[in-house]
Amino acid sequence: MPFKIVRNDITKMMVGAIVNAANTSLRMGAGVCGAIFSAAGSKELQKECNAIGGCNVGEAVITKGYNLPAKHIIHTVGPIWEGGNSGEPNLLRNCYINSMKLAKKQGCKSIAFPLISTGIYGYPKDEALSIAVEAIKDYLETDDMMVYLVVFDKKSFALSKQRFSDIEKFIDDNYVDNSKYVRYRSSRNQNEYIDEIDSLSLKPLKVNRSIEDVVNNLDETFSQMLLRLIDEKGVTDVQTYKRANIDRKLFSKIKSNKDYNPSKRTAIAFAIALKLNKDETLDLLEKAGFTLSRSNKFDVIIEYFIEQKNYNIFEINEALFAFDQLLLCS
């Protein structure tokens, strides 16, 4: 199952387990911890935590969910930030990995995390986000659990400043707001308007496949082209849908129905999973009736990552979330 970043209150997540950013004594604290205790029922939850006794940094323990929509609460203790040279990155990674392992052991099919250690423990948000996403990605390579990273508000989420600046510049250089040019209809003649729009379209793409390849596959459907590309790229079906952040059931539907029409986000997700260049991406999108447009910020961000040859769908989703766009997922 895929990984999603969502903006929500973690105490309202209807999942198998939510994760509490706990302290080593498992006492009710402030922030996320306090909110979870209050929503679950602090008296009953504290009693069970007292019986457990405590939890070491990087490890995880589990309790009932009590009054929460979630069946379980997994308590994990994140590291206090001390500059990054005291093993904090590995301890923080362990928080995510051990929590997911414990959820799996309890039979949970879904889990929701806060961004651990970024509150009073002072872990830099951009570094904590990077560790969280990488740990979740690595775990999902061998497991089908549905994983949520829950962000309460935009201030709680921080894409690296360099990445944000690079994407922002790319958008500034390439994004076209068509609404500005629609007004030209009343002040310019039709030919001038058309010339203006044409000059702002996607840049010419390098031809990265042969004319024979294009002609020989004109009649392919999206599903047929996808399966052919999977074979040509030398990857497995499992690798493909996991890299695409796509649910296995959805992939099975696409594979079994040659006329399946995916959403644009699903089609792009597969292009990312297969590491297609811009030319190949446009070919695959065309089979589903879509294209990339410079008047769509979502599309421009996707183009940025393809140009950078960065096909990490989790990093792409971080960027899409930071720019208030829909994510690539099923």
Residues 183 and 300: their CA atoms lie apart, in Å, by 23
Q: Which of 109, 87, 111, 85 is nearest to 98 (CA)?
A: 111
Helix axes 313-322, 161-174, angle to 10 degrees: 70
The sign of the dihedral angle between the CA atoms of 246, 252, 258, 260 is negative
Question: For residue 174, what pLDDT is reported?
Answer: 85
Q: Is 5 helix (H, G, I), strand (E, B) or coil?
A: strand
Unique residue bearing structure tokens 């600046």: 165
Residue 284 and residue 271 in contact, taking contact as beta carbons nearer than 8 Å? yes
Residue 174 and residue 303 in contact, taking contact as beta carbons nearer than 8 Å? yes
Task: Kindly list the structural domains of the chain, giving each domain's residue range(s) and its CATH number in brackets, ordered by start.
Answer: 3-156 (3.40.220.10), 161-322 (no CATH)
Question: For residue 165, what pLDDT is reported?
Answer: 84
Question: For residue 180, what pLDDT is reported?
Answer: 47
Q: What is the pLDDT along the chain (330 residues), one digit of tens a residue?
A: 689 999 899 999 999 999 999 999 999 988 889 999 999 999 999 999 999 999 999 999 999 999 999 999 999 999 999 998 899 999 999 999 999 999 999 999 999 999 999 989 999 988 998 899 999 999 998 888 999 999 876 665 666 677 778 888 888 888 876 554 444 334 444 444 333 333 334 444 444 555 565 555 568 999 999 999 999 999 999 999 999 999 999 999 999 999 999 999 999 999 999 999 999 999 999 999 999 998 899 999 999 999 999 999 989 998 898 888 999 876
Question: For residue 30, what pLDDT is reported?
Answer: 87
Per-residue pLDDT tens for 4-14?
999 899 999 99
CA distances from 65 to 45, 47, 310 (A): 8, 13, 39
Q: Which of 231, 234, 228, 206 is nearest to 216 (CA)?
A: 228
